[in-house]
């Protein structure tokens, strides 16, 4: 888990909170210097800070939620995998493209005693790491590696956990040349064939086809401040409003929050985050994730493989809103 | 750079289906406005304008008929209707078409022309990619033939789902086919792309489409490919070899039947 010792990175809407905390520190400092007891005042201010944090984080706009979802300290796939597993061994390569994609990590973990295939987009933990990880934008090789691992899991009866956290599939020249569209399309179809339980969780940013490429499962879970979009609000604003500056408006219109997706019948379960977002208390966030994964996994294990395939088909079959009249 | 003229769904159906064999499916399915979406214009108004301009409910027509006497299911996307974008109606109609193909054991042909998922229906549009792919998985499991025809343009979420899932993928000459838009790729790369980038010819060269077929030969090529996938049934006098062990080739073959 990322350490909290580093200097916190604050978002704009957290400013009132920062100001209040600065005041608390100042009073505490003054009190120490002058040897006066201010514990009652401090206690009062601290409970106001807690209340303020709660107010801010329970009334985030979609655009603000997007900022939390993209927070540089937000726990990543590897953070969660390590936090929820008893053991973990990362495995590499699609055996096709001649290179391993560090933007999508895969491996076998032991989860609640059981071997589980875990995979997900991997954003970097700092700037240098982010360059290596291509900011979590996977290439065709990443999607093909994911598929190879999922097929492996299916053969050995291992459930699959997919963690989604990407701005989108990599829109690069080489990615197009290597068949980005084909790689994602293939996963969409083949994930319906696998008969082991598949649980997908949006832990941060669910960016369009790049997210869906590992997003076909029996259950879709989503952290409270995560987002899942058909197109990035920036791209949507540029195309529909002809003005990339309208991204906040697009974020609102596109219905990208966990609650929106629950209402649209796409999301199965919304995972609560600690007040202040998953990055403010990553251990607590991981515990919430672990509990939800375990409960959902146990439910899915009660079905036969054929039942799981049929239910997965039905789950996606009913998505969509239209009217039928002559 | 792109020279073939665009044709729309009615004309395409006329060109591919034998005359008087075409029967439309699911013409009573209409789009809704689940997000109450409004950009510079309300989605509801945009839909109404498109419907009156094109006479279509939404961006795809589906149905079944015959091609050179062979029964088949056909879906044709229409680029006029909001750039052929895929929302709930396109997803539902194509899924029903493929399910019908599976049920009636028919080959499915889908002519693609689309800018990708329809943003105005948000995540419901993205999920149609998975829904259609699921139906194709079942069609495939039943050893049935699916052939998309990639016309200009085929991009975004359509490329990243049913356009690239063909058993055999046919493309039209010079059609633009790709996942990310050319401008986006250029911005990512910060240099100019080759002229043939994301053309049908480029995809053929890189092994992502099987064959490029000009529109004038499209019907006969599709029919030829369907015939080549029908089970081989030797004439009775050839198969009657006396006192020999029966290899029962019929039971080894997947039970393909085209009605």
Bridge partners, A153 (sequence order): none
Q: Which two tokens stand for residue B249?
A: 């080739």
Contact across the interface for B164 and A172, Cβ inside 8 Å: no
* Among candidates B37, B140, B208 on the partner chain, residue whose Cβ is nearest the Cβ of A179: B208
Q: Residue A82 in contact with residue A19, Cβ under 8 Å?
A: no
Q: Identify the segments of chain A with pLDDT beneath 50.
A: 3-4
| A-chain residue closest to B96, CA distance | A317
What is the distance between the alpha carbons of residues A244 and A264, in angstroms, rounded to a whole number? Answer: 26
Greatest alpha-carbon span in chain B: 79
What is the distance between the alpha carbons of residues A123 and A71, in angstroms, rounded to a whole number? Answer: 11
Q: Tens digits of per-residue pLDDT, A15-41?
A: 888 888 888 888 888 888 888 888 888
Chain B contacts of A181, Cβ < 8 Å?
159-160, 163-164, 178-179
Assess whether pLDDT exceeds 70 at residue B1: no
- Structure confidence at residue B259 (pLDDT): 43
Residue B64, Ramachandran bin (φ over 0: left; ψ between -120 and 50: alpha; else beta): beta
A321 in contact with B at a CB cutoff of 8 Å?
yes
* B-contacting residues in A 249-308 (Cβ below 8 Å): 250, 253-256, 260-261, 264, 266
- Structure confidence at residue B141 (pLDDT): 97
B235 half-sphere exposure, CB direction, 13 A CA radius = 2
User: Shortest CA distance to A309 belongs to which of A191, A152, A201?
Assistant: A191
Higher pLDDT, B136 or B185: B136
User: Shortest CA distance to A267 belongs to which of A304, A292, A233, A238?
Assistant: A292
**Whole-structure pTM value:** 0.92
Contact across the interface for A316 and B134, Cβ inside 8 Å: yes
- The sign of the CA dihedral A47, A52, A53, A59 is positive
Delineate the domains of chain B, giving CATH numbers in brackets.
2-247 (3.90.226.10)
User: Shortest CA distance to B48 belongs to which of B64, B29, B69, B33?
Assistant: B33
Contact across the interface for B178 and A216, Cβ inside 8 Å: no
* Among candidates A171, A236, A322 on the partner chain, residue whose Cβ is nearest the Cβ of B119: A236
φ and ψ of B104, to 5 deg:
-90, 5
What is the distance between the alpha carbons of residues B198 and B181, in angstroms, rounded to a whole number? Answer: 9
A266 half-sphere exposure, CB direction, 13 A CA radius = 33
Q: Tens digits of per-residue pLDDT, B191-212?
A: 788 889 999 999 999 999 999 9
Contact across the interface for B208 and A255, Cβ inside 8 Å: no
Residue B248 Cα, gap to closest chain A Cα (Å):
30
User: Shortest CA distance to B182 belongs to which of B210, B209, B153, B149?
Assistant: B153
**B151 confidence band (pLDDT: 50, 70, 90):** very high
A192 in contact with B at a CB cutoff of 8 Å?
yes
Q: Tens digits of per-residue pLDDT, B92-150?
A: 999 999 999 999 999 999 999 999 999 999 999 999 999 999 999 999 999 999 999 99
Q: Which two tokens stand for residue B258?
A: 């085209």
User: Does an H or E element contain A215, and which?
Assistant: none
What is the distance between the alpha carbons of residues A235 and A149, in angstroms, rounded to a whole number? Answer: 32
Q: Residue A184 in contact with residue A137, Cβ under 8 Å?
A: no
Antiparallel, parallel or unpaired: β B170-171 and B177-178: unpaired
Chain A contacts of B96, Cβ < 8 Å?
none
């Amino acid at each position: 888990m990322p350490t909290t010792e580093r200097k916190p990175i604050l978002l704009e809407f957290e400013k009132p909170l920062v100001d209040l905390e600065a005041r608390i520190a100042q009073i505490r400092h003054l009190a120490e210097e002058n040897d006066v007891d201010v514990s009652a005042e401090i206690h009062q201010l601290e409970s106001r800070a807690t209340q303020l944090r709660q107010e801010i984080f329970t009334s985030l706009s979609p655009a603000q939620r997007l900022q939390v979802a993209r927070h540089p300290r937000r726990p990543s796939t590897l953070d969660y995998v390590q936090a929820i597993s008893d053991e973990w061994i990362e495995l590499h390569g699609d055996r096709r493209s001649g290179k391993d994609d560090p933007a999508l990590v895969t491996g076998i973990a032991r989860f609640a005693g059981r071997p589980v295939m875990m995979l997900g987009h991997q954003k970097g933990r700092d700037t240098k790491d982010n360059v290596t990880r291509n900011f979590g934008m996977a290439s065709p090789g990443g999607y093909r590696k994911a598929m190879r691992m999922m097929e492996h899991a299916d053969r050995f009866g291992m459930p699959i956990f997919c963690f989604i956290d990407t701005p989108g599939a990599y829109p690069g020249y080489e990615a197009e040349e290597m068949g980005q569209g084909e790689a994602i399309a293939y996963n969409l179809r083949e994930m319906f064939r696998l008969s082991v339980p598949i649980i997908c969780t949006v832990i941060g940013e669910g960016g369009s086809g790049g997210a869906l490429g590992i997003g076909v499962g029996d259950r879709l879970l989503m952290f409270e401040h995560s987002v899942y979009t058909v197109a990035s609000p920036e791209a949507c604003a540029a195309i529909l409003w002809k003005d990339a500056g309208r991204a906040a408006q697009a974020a609102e219109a596109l219905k990208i929050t966990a609650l929106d997706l629950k209402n649209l019948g796409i999301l199965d379960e919304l995972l609560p985050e600690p007040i202040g977002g998953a990055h403010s208390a990553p251990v607590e966030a991981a515990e919430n994730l672990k509990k939800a994964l375990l409960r959902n996994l146990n439910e899915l294990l009660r079905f036969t493989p054929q039942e799981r395939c049929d239910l997965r088909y039905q789950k996606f079959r009913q998505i969509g809103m239209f009217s039928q009249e002559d | 750079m792109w020279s073939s003229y665009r044709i729309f769904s009615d004309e395409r159906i006329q060109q591919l289906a034998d005359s008087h064999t075409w029967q439309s499916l699911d013409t009573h399915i209409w789009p809704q406005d689940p997000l109450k979406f409004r950009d510079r214009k309300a989605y509801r108004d945009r839909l109404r304008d498109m419907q009156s301009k094109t006479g279509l409910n939404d961006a795809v027509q589906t149905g079944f008929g015959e091609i050179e006497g062979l029964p088949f299911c056909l879906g044709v996307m229409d680029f006029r209707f909001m750039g052929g974008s895929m929302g709930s109606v396109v997803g539902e109609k194509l899924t029903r078409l493929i399910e019908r193909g599976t049920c009636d054991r028919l080959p499915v042909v889908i002519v693609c022309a689309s800018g990708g998922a329809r943003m105005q229906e948000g995540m419901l549009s993205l999920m149609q990619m998975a829904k259609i792919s699921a139906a194709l998985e079942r069609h495939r499991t039943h050893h049935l033939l699916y052939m998309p025809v990639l016309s200009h343009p085929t991009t975004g979420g359509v490329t990243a789902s049913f356009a690239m899932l063909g058993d055999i993928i046919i493309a039209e000459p010079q059609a633009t086919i790709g996942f990310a838009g050319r401008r986006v790729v250029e911005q990512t790369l910060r240099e100019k792309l080759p002229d043939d980038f994301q053309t049908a010819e480029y995809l053929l060269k890189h092994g992502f489409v099987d064959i490029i077929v000009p529109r004038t030969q499209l019907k006969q090529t599709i029919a030829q490919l369907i015939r080549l996938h029908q089970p081989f049934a030797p004439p009775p006098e050839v198969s009657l070899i006396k006192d020999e062990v029966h290899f029962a080739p019929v039971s080894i073959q997947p039970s393909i039947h085209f009605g």
